[in-house]
Amino acid sequence: MTAKTSKSSILHPGDKAEGKAAPDESLVAGGDTSSRLLHFITDDVPKSGSVEEIADGVFWLRFALPMKGLNHINLWALKDGDGWVVVDTGIANRESKEIWTKHFETLLEGRPINRVICTHLHPDHTGLAGWMCRKFGAPLLMTRGEYFLCRLMAADTGRVAPREGINFYKKAGFTPDQIELYKLRFGGFGKAISELPHSYDRLVDGELGMIGGREWRVVIGSGHSPEHACLWCPELNLCLTGDQLLPNISSNVSVWPTEPESNPLEDWISSCHKLKSVLPEDTLIAPAHGIPFRGAHSRLDKLIEHHEKALDRLYEFCHTPRLATEVYSVLFRRPITDGNRIMAVGESVAHLNCLKARGLVSRRLNDAGQFTYKSRPLGTE
């Protein structure tokens, strides 16, 4: 852990290598609704545009999202002296801007936003960061992996799908029609965000910064995105967890064409263990989706178990060689459609890459140029 930083920042330049690729918003596959052991702060589902103070100076803002499954996001406004710190910003559309514009006058009482923090790169978190930073002359704070990947993905907007992407999905087992759909939809990321500022302040794991006179610590996880920042305030016993820890859904953990041999699922499982070692069980978890809750350890245990059981089922299923596109039924409860296939196949490859890294499956290229995965007998190299 580094020493406490100056009052105005929660960041430090550093030299950690940037993380792996991870594109658009996810959270579709492998939903896990088991939350009986969690203690939610309310039974009511707030309306879009609502505000609630969940701890001293920490305000919970609810915004609608224009997606069918994931229809809302929680954003956070933190009192900071004469100004405010905003954590995550919402997707870049007219409705979100209208809600923010109202909050600027009412909740924020016309006071400035002095820092904009984004937990990770996905558009529902970064969408209005550029707009807000420019409006208030505020710095953007992100981890290096998230900032640069966000810039990179926005730069793909309007470009044609790359050969590497087409090959990745062909090897996974996509049909020609599914490849065409991938090509058609490629490069849409930048349409959901306002342009990010061309410089940022880097968040580093373990770093302490001051917000509203209290110390907040950066806790970084990986798997859903390369270098996701959670913000933990021990004094308030509160952690803003973004998509790294959610109460009702299992965050999407995918392999993407930019880094086809990556193993984000092992990163994700390791991050769950890390969060469990850092956060007390009774910490108030303020997630990006769902209702704030207590019961961090129960939830993290459940998430680990959820993926380990999926790996076990997948291992059994691959005694007969399988393509990545043939394992959906083992991993997901909901049907796979044109709307969620990219995330489903990404999550399938993530589980297969994890089994492969653990030495439990072998992978071969078949005569059609597709990868098949076959379970290895236990105890072999």
- What's the min distance (Å) between Cβ of 231 and Zn ion? 15
Q: Tokens for 207, please give them.
A: 């770093």
Residues 228-287 that bind Zn ion (CB under 5 A): 243
Q: Is 55 exposed, middle or buried (0-12, 13-18, 19+ CB in 10 A)?
A: middle
Which stretch in 120-128, 131-139, 187-195, 274-282 sits in contact with Zn ion by CB under 5 A? 120-128
The residue assigned the tokens 């490069």 is: 187
Nearest to 52 by CA among 238, 291, 282: 291
Nearer to Zn ion, 243 or 266 (CB): 243
Q: How far is the CB of 379 from Zn ion (least distance, A)?
A: 38
Total residues interacting with Zn ion, rule: CB under 5 A: 2
Q: Is 88 in the site for Zn ion (CB under 5 A)?
A: no
Q: Name the segment binding Zn ion (CB under 5 A); options: 37-45, 88-96, 116-124, 342-350.
A: 116-124
Nearest distance, CB of residue 317 and Zn ion, angstroms: 28
Among residues 67 and 208, whose Cβ is nearest to Zn ion? 67
Nearest CB to Zn ion, comparing residues 291 and 318: 291
Of residues 236 and 303, the one with the C-beta less far from Zn ion: 303
Which residue's CB is nearer to Zn ion, number 194 or number 252?
A: 252
The residue count of the chain comes to 381
For residues 168 and 174, what is the distance between their CA atoms, to the nearest angstrom?
A: 9
**φ/ψ (deg, to 5) at 147:** -65, -50
Q: Does 289 bind Zn ion (CB under 5 A)?
A: no
User: What is the nearest approach in angstroms of Zn ion to the Cβ of residue 202?
Assistant: 20
- Say if residues 97 and 130 touch (Cβ distance below 8 Å): no
Compute how many other C-beta atoms are within 10 angstroms of the C-beta atom of residue 9: 16
8 A C-beta contact, residue 39 and residue 293: yes
Residue nearest to Zn ion (CB): 122
Cα dihedral 240, 245, 251, 253 sign: positive
Minimum separation from the CB atom of position 143 to Zn ion (A): 13
Nearer to Zn ion, 122 or 307 (CB): 122
CB 321 within 8 A of CB 370: no
DSSP letters, 329-379, are HHH-SSPP-TTTHHHHHHHHHHHHHHHHHTTSEEEEE-TTS-EEEEEPPTT
Identify the burial level of 270 via C-beta atoms within 10 angstroms of its C-beta, where 0-12 means exposed, 13-18 middle and 19 or more buried.
middle
Among 79, 122, 171, 214, binds Zn ion (CB under 5 A): 122
Measured from the CB atom, is 21 or 355 closer to Zn ion?
Answer: 21
The whole-angstrom separation of Cα 156 and Cα 19 is: 18
- Give the residues across from 220 on adjacent strands: 229
Q: Residue 166 or 253: which CB sits closer to Zn ion? A: 253
Q: Which two tokens stand for residue 235?
A: 């004094």
Q: How far is the CB of 221 from Zn ion (least distance, A)?
A: 11
CB 85 → Zn ion: shortest distance, Å?
20
Q: Summarize as ranges the residues that interact with Zn ion (CB under 5 A).
A: 122, 243
